[in-house]
Structure 1
Amino acid sequence: MVSEQLERKPLWLCLPAEMKTDGNKYQSLEKEEGKEPMENGDDFEAEIIDGSFVNGTATVDTKVCTYARGRWVADSRPPLYAARCKYMERKWACRLSSRTDFSYEGYRWQPVDCQKPEFEASHFLERMKDKIVAFVGDSLSREQFESMMCMLTGGQESSDIEDVQFQYTGKIHHPGWGYRFRSTNTTILYSKSTRLCDLEPINATDPNTLNAMHLDRQPAFIRENIDHLNVLVMNTAQHWRKTLISWDNEVMYVNGAPVQDRNLKNISNAMIFKVNNIVKWLDSKLASNPNLQVFFRTKSPTHFFKGDWDTGGRCNNTIPMTRGSEVFEDESSDKVVAAAVNGTRVKLLDITALSDLRDEAHNSYYGKRSPDCVHWCLPGVPDTWNELLSAQL
C-alpha cells in the first residue's frame, strides 16, 4: 500500500517509474501491492518479463513520463477500428459523411519523456478483468466511451458482449451504453452528467417543473455506484454557460436552496466550486477504496473561428498541424481541473493542449447544417485520450 504521504503528492510524482536493464531496454515498473515505493537508486529483486534476467539486481530510474508533453508524429498504420463501428454514433463517423480528406487519421501522439505503450484490446481487457470502468460527463465523455468500445472490439459485434446498463442504478443516458465483456468480466459504462451535479425536480408533482442543480451534491450514478467502480473517468466544461443552464431548465442550488451568494452566481465561479467539490468528495472515497482509480479529464478544446457555436463560428481547416505539432509545457492548460486535483488521489488525464493542435479533426460542417467544432471525428483524437488513459492505469 502506498503511503498517504506519497499518494497526496502531485500526479507527475506518482506515475510509473522507468526501469533500465543492463540490455539498455526500458520497461514499466509496476508497484506491487503492499510494498512501499523505492527511492531513486535503491536496489530491488525483480523478474524481467522479456527474459533479460531473472531475480537479478537493477537500478531504478525515477524518471517520470508526463504523457501530456510530446508531439504529433506521422503514422501510416490504419486506425484501430473502422468508421462503421457498431458502438459509435454515425454523427462521429466522418468517413460516412461528405468529407473527402482523412489525413487527420494519420497521426499518433508521442510523449517526449518515454515511449507510450501501444494499445492492445486484449491486454487492456485482461488488466481490467473483473473490473468496472465508467465514463461520466457530457457528450464528449460519451464520445470517449464510444471510442473505447470501438477500440476494444475493432468495431465488430461480438457474442462476448452483453448489454448491462439496466443492472446499474442511477441514470445511464441511453439504452446500450453499458456493456460487459463476458470473457474477462469487464464492464464499460457511460452515464450522462453534463455538470457533475445532482439533479432533483423542484416540484415533483409538476411535469414542467425546473430542476435543482445541486453544486454541492454528486451525480446519482456516481453516488450510488462509487463503491462498485474500479475506474472512473469524468469531465465537465462546455455546459457551464448561463444560456445552457437555462435551456436545461436548471437552477443552481447549494445547501439545499437556490444560490444567493453573488460570487457563486457567476457561472465560472460555480464551475470552479463544483470541480473542487467533487474532487474533494472523491478523494475522501479513495482514502478507503484502494481498488478505485479516478481520473478527471481536462477540457476538450473547441475551435470556432470568426464566431462561436451560436454566432456563426466555423472550423473549415482540413490541413493537419497548422497550429504546430508539439507541447512542451509542464503545466496543464486546464488550470481549474489541474488545481483541483493537485495534492489529491484523483489523477489528471491531461488532453487539452495536445488536442488543441488538432483543429482539422472536428466533425465540422460535413453532413450538418451548422459546423460542429466541439466534437471529434472517430476514429480520431478521442482514441488518443483512451491510449493515455490506458497508459496511466
Structure 2
Amino acid sequence: MIKMKGGFYGLKGKEISLISIVLMSTTVIIWSWEKTPSLTSFLPSQKQLQLSSDILMSNPVVNLLAPEPRNRVHVGEDGSSLSKKEVMTQKGSQQSSSGGSVGESNIETTSYKEQILSNAQGEKTSKQEDHKKDLVAPMRSPQRSSLVSGNDNVGNNAKENKACNYAKGKWVLDDNRPLYSGFGCKQWLSQMWACRLTQRTDFAYEKLRWQPKDCQMEEFEKSKFFQRMQNKTLAFVGDSLGRQQFQSLMCMITGGEETPDVEDVGNEYGLILPEGAARPNGWAYRFPSTNTTILYYWSAILCDVEPIDANNPDTDHAMHLDRPPAFLGQFLHKFDVLVLNTGHHWNRGKLKANRWVMHAGGVPVTDRKLAVIWAAKNLTVNSVVSWVNSQLPKYPGLKVFFRSISPRHFVGGDWNTGGSCDNTTPMSVGKEILDDESTDQVAANAVKGTGVKLLDITALSQLRDEGHISRFSISARPGFQDCLHWCLPGVPDTWNEILFAQI
C-alpha cells in the first residue's frame, strides 16, 4: 500500500493540477500555430513560396512583385491604355486577359491559376521551381520592371511616343453627322457650295465620319475649340479649297447658327474689297467672347505675286517661285495656327489666264527644267515651307500645317471636256487607307525634317468621289461638272476635325 502511494495515485492535488495546466497550454499553442497564417512569417523564405493554390488565388500576384515604375504603363498609340490581352499578345510570353487599364498590374491572378493547374496535371518539379524564381525575379533584379518587360520595352516606349497617323483608316457611317446644317449656315457658307440649296436629292455623303485605324480621333466640340484658341488667331492661306476649309470651320464652330456678335476684322489684315473686284482677297472674323480670330487669305499658288509694271493695269504679274506671299511676311507674327495649301492652279491654263510669269531669283525663269509646271510647284512648296520653318524660332508658340492636295474625281474627261463625277455610292465602301506615307509626296518631302506638320488629307479624300458638287452647281452649264470642290457639309469638315485633333 505504501508503494502504491509513491506512484501516480500518490501525487498531491496541487501537483496534478499543475500537470493538467501544462498539458492544456501546450495543446493551445500547437493548435494556434496551425491555425494562424501570420505565423508562417517565421518560416524560412523558401517555405513562403510553397503556398497552396487556394492561397495564391486569394491574393493578387502583384503583391509578390516589386512595384512597376510609372513609365512602364502600357499605352497605345492614341495614348489610351492597352488591354492586358493586347499586351500579352505583343509579348507572346504570358497568358492573356482582358480589360486592362492604366496603372493596373500586367498579370492577372487567374492566368497564374491556369498555369498552376497545368503544373498540377503533370509538369515537372523543375518547371515549378523556375516559375517560383520568375515570381521573385522583379524584387531581385532592378533591371526588370515587370513580368512582361525586357527588350520589348523599347518597342512599347516607341508606341507611347509615336503620334497618331490620322491619314490611315476608313470611312464609317455616323448618324451624328453632319456637324451643322447645310440649310442653316448661310452666314458663312457660300451658296455655290451648299448642296442642300441645290437640286441634289441624295445626302448620304453627309453621314460619313473618318475613323483612324490605330487611334481614336478626338471628337470635335466647338466649346473645346474656343477654349484652345482663346486669344489666338488661326489663318488659312491658300486656294479655293483652302477657302472651303475656312467656311467649313466657321460653320463647325458656330454650329451653323447665326452669330450676330462676331466682328469683321478684315481691315486689320488688309482684307478689303478692292475697287472693281468681285470679292476681297480674304476675310477675317473675331469672336469677342474668347478673342478668337479666324481668317482666310487667297493665295492660289502660295508664292509672292506682284505686277511687273505697277502703272499698267494690263501688265503681266511676276510669280516669284522662291518667295513666300507678302501677306505671310507682313502678318505671320499675329498667327498662332497657320494652315497652308496649294495645288490646282499649277497648270498652264491658269497661269496664262491670270497673266502670271514665273520668276526665280528676281528674274524670269529661263531654265527649261524649272519651267516645267511640276518642277516650279515643287520649288515653291519647298521655298515657302523652308521660309516658314526659318521663322519658327521667332514665334515658338506658332503651329504650322501644310495641307496636302485635295483630289479631283473627273471621269471621262476634264472639267471642260465632259468630265463627270455622278456616283452617289462612295468608292470608300469596304476600303481602308493603310499606307504609312502620304500620296502627296511633294508636300510630304517638303515638311520632312522641319517644324511644319503635314495635314495629310489626300488619300482619305480620294475615297470620297461622291462628295463633290458634281452637276448640281448653281452656275453649271450643260456638259460641265465640278468634281474639284466639295459639297458642304462634307469632306472638308473632316480636314478640320483632323486639324482640331492636332491643335
Q: State the Cα deviation string for residues 197-223 of structure 1 (Å, max 9, x = none).
A: 111110111111111111111112111
Distance of 2:271 and 2:190 partners within structure 1: 23
Distance of 1:255 and 1:351 partners within structure 2: 32
Aligned to 1:77: 176
Aligned to 1:350: 456
Which stretch of the first structure deviates more once superposed, 178-187 or 216-225?
Answer: 216-225
Contact 1:20 1:60 in 2 (8 A): no
More helix by proportion, 1 or 2? Answer: 2
Q: State the Cα deviation string for residues 112-158 of structure 1 (Å, max 9, x = none).
A: 11111000001001101111100000000000000000000011222
Distance of 2:341 and 2:371 partners within structure 1: 21
Aligned to 1:54: none
Distance 1:357 1:17, change over 3 A: closer
Counterpart pick for 1:206 among 303, 306, 312: 312
Counterpart pick for 1:120 among 215, 221, 227: 221
Counterpart pick for 1:179 among 257, 271, 285: 285
Amino acid at match of 2:486: W
Distance of 1:255 and 1:342 partners within structure 2: 24
Distance 1:223 1:125, change over 3 A: same
Counterpart pick for 1:312 among 401, 411, 418: 418
Matches within 5 A, 1:54-203: 61-83=160-182, 84-85=184-185, 86-169=187-270, 174=280, 177-203=283-309
Distance of 2:284 and 2:313 partners within structure 1: 28
Contact 2:78 2:216 in 1 (8 A): no
SS in 1 for 2:378: helix
Distance 1:249 1:314, change over 3 A: same
Contact 1:18 1:60 in 2 (8 A): no
Amino acid at match of 1:338: A
Distance 1:361 1:17, change over 3 A: closer
More strand by proportion, 1 or 2? Answer: 1
Counterpart pick for 1:292 among 398, 408, 411: 398
Q: State the Cα deviation string for residues 166-191 of structure 1 (Å, max 9, x = none).
A: 11147796388211010110000000
Distance of 2:281 and 2:384 partners within structure 1: 26
Distance of 2:203 and 2:374 partners within structure 1: 36
Which stretch of the first structure deviates more once superposed, 318-327 or 166-175?
Answer: 166-175
Q: State the Cα deviation string for residues 215-273 of structure 1 (Å, max 9, x = none).
A: 11111211101111101001001010011101011101111111111111111100000
Distance of 1:170 and 1:290 partners within structure 2: 26
Q: State the Cα deviation string for residues 343-366 of structure 1 (Å, max 9, x = none).
A: 110000000000000000000011
User: How many angstroms does 1:325 deviate by?
Assistant: 3.1
| TM-score normalised by the chain length of structure 2 | 0.66
Distance of 1:343 and 1:230 partners within structure 2: 21
Q: State the Cα deviation string for residues 36-81 of structure 1 (Å, max 9, x = none).
A: xxxxx99xxxxxxxxxxxxxxxx99334311000010111124111
Contact 1:142 1:192 in 2 (8 A): yes
Contact 2:78 2:214 in 1 (8 A): no
Consecutive unaligned residues in structure 1, runs of 5 or more? 1-15, 27-40, 43-58
SS in 2 for 1:287: helix
1:18 is the counterpart of 2:119: no
What is the RMSD of the two structures over their aligned residues, measured on CA atoms?
2.3
Distance of 1:110 and 1:348 partners within structure 2: 18
Distance 1:156 1:25, change over 3 A: farther
Distance 1:322 1:296, change over 3 A: closer
Consecutive unaligned residues in structure 2, runs of 5 or more? 1-76, 84-98, 103-143, 146-157, 274-278
SS in 2 for 1:73: strand
Contact 2:271 2:280 in 1 (8 A): no
Matches within 5 A, 1:234-249: 234-249=340-355
SS in 1 for 2:384: helix
Distance of 1:237 and 1:324 partners within structure 2: 29
User: How many angstroms does 1:311 deviate by?
Assistant: 1.6
Distance of 1:159 and 1:184 partners within structure 2: 15
Contact 2:281 2:297 in 1 (8 A): no
Distance of 2:269 and 2:345 partners within structure 1: 25
Counterpart pick for 2:431 among 310, 325, 331: 325
Contact 2:78 2:215 in 1 (8 A): no
1:384 is the counterpart of 2:494: yes
**Higher RCO (C-alpha 8 Å, min separation 6):** 1
Contact 2:282 2:298 in 1 (8 A): no
Distance 1:176 1:209, change over 3 A: closer
Contact 1:231 1:292 in 2 (8 A): yes
Contact 1:215 1:274 in 2 (8 A): yes
| TM-score normalised by the chain length of structure 1 | 0.84
Distance 1:71 1:306, change over 3 A: same
